[in-house]
Homo-oligomer: A and B are copies of this chain.
């Protein structure tokens, strides 16, 4: 029985994605897919998710061949979760064209025995009630991070608030942070999240990067500017995969480790968006992360000069 160091619980899906430049149907997608294809470069990763009986063997192989542990990937009768979306011409905003939950509608995540004592756990964006159920199956993880979205803030606030004291880091975007906290300022929103029990607020700002705020530290990670962005799908999950993957690799959640991990997440997300779907993540290796990380530090480094 394998015992991955890092477990992600989330979705495996088929996405139909449209941009001005191209459109593709049934692209391998889902939060657990993007997360694990980024994190597996950094730490042994297992996924807990559900697929339908239409899920292609080649996509299982794609994940397995990259070392993603599939012991927690359950197959249910019916079709795999499908999502369709269209991006605007600047690849910033997107419109959801359809969401067919299919087998994901009855998703009841079960941690395999070998996953329950995984030290690092990521609960991707799904129902906070189920996120709580996953936590109840874990035996004292060292670090739990959780993603959420407006839909749950509006519809499942109570279980979400129950979750906050039980996790170490909350991932959400800036508008979601404002909605959850009623604040209009990132620092005040982060204080609210901390006051409700989660010590680390990871606030994503899309093309502008992210901010990680703890009680004692503010880490600002601007995005890695690229000349070629093809498809933003999975950017947030591959950011989380890189970041939590780096923490698991370092087995360290100190301020310096968080700072390095956030930069690694920025880099994995930057690779993700350069190709349509998760293709670039599937071919990613540690050397590519290290190389771009060096360029990244160069772009934000403190100059030797003084005023």
In the complex, which residues of chain B have a beta carbon less than 8 angstroms from the beta carbon of A300?
220-222, 300, 302
The yes or no answer to A98 lying at the interface (CB within 8 A) is no
Cβ of A303 within 8 Å of any chain B Cβ, yes or no, is yes
Contact B260 A303 (CB under 8 A): yes
Q: Is the CB of A256 within 8 A of B209?
A: no
| Contact assessment for B297 and A302 in the assembled complex, using a CB-CB cutoff below 8 Å | yes
Residue A188 interfacial (CB < 8 Å): yes
* Contact (Cβ within 8 A) A293 B264: no
- A219 contacts B307, C-beta separation under 8 Å: no
B307–A188 contact, CB under 8 A?
no
Q: What's the nearest-Cβ distance from chain B to residue A250, in Å?
A: 7
Inter-subunit contact B301/A302 (CB<8 Å):
yes
CB pair A305 B256 closer than 8 Å: yes
A250: contacting residue among B228, B252, B299, B307, CB under 8 A: B307
Q: What residues on B are CB-neighbors of A286 within 8 Å?
A: 307
Looking at A178, A225, A250, A264, which has the most chain B CB atoms within 10 Å of its CB? A225
Task: Render A223-257 as a binary contact track against B, CB cut-off 8 A, 1 for contact.
Answer: 00111110000000000000000100110100011
Copies in the assembly, this chain: 2
**Contact A185 B293, beta carbon cutoff 8 Å:** no
C-beta contact mask, A149-182 vs B, less than 8 Å → 1, else 0?
0000000000000000000000000000010000
Q: Contact check, A264 vs B225: say whether CB atoms are below 8 A apart.
A: no
**In this complex, what residue of B is CB-closest to A210?**
B222
Least CB distance from A210 to B in Å reads 10
**What CA separation (Å) do A144 and B205 show in the bound complex?**
33
Find chain B residues with CB under 8 A from A221 CB: 300
A205-B208, A220-B225 known; A307-B249 Cβ under 8 A: yes
Interface residue A215 (Cβ < 8 Å from any Cβ of B): no
Scan residues 242-292 of chain A and give those whose CB is less than 8 A from a CB of chain B.
246, 249-250, 252, 256-257, 259-260, 263-264, 286, 289-290
How many Å from the CB of A282 to the closest CB on chain B? 20
With contact pairs A208-B208, A264-B307, A293-B307 given, residues A299 and B220 touching in the complex (Cβ less than 8 Å)? yes
A293's closest neighbor in chain B, by CB? B307
Instruction: Give the residue among A186, A221, A226, A299 with the most B Cβ atoms within 10 A.
Output: A299
Q: Identify which of residues 107-139 in chain A touch chain B, using a CB-to-CB cut-off of 8 Å.
A: none
Q: Which residue of B lies closest to A245 (CB)?
A: B307
By a CB distance below 8 angstroms, the chain B residues around A304 are 256
| Known contacts A286-B307, A289-B307, A304-B256; A299 and B218 CB within 8 A of each other | yes
| CA distance in complex: A295, B86 (Å) | 40
- Interface contact B222-A220, CB-CB below 8 Å: yes
Quick check: B256 and A303 within 8 Å, CB to CB? Answer: yes
- Top 5 closest A-B pairs, CB basis? A208-B208, A256-B303, A259-B303, A187-B227, A297-B302
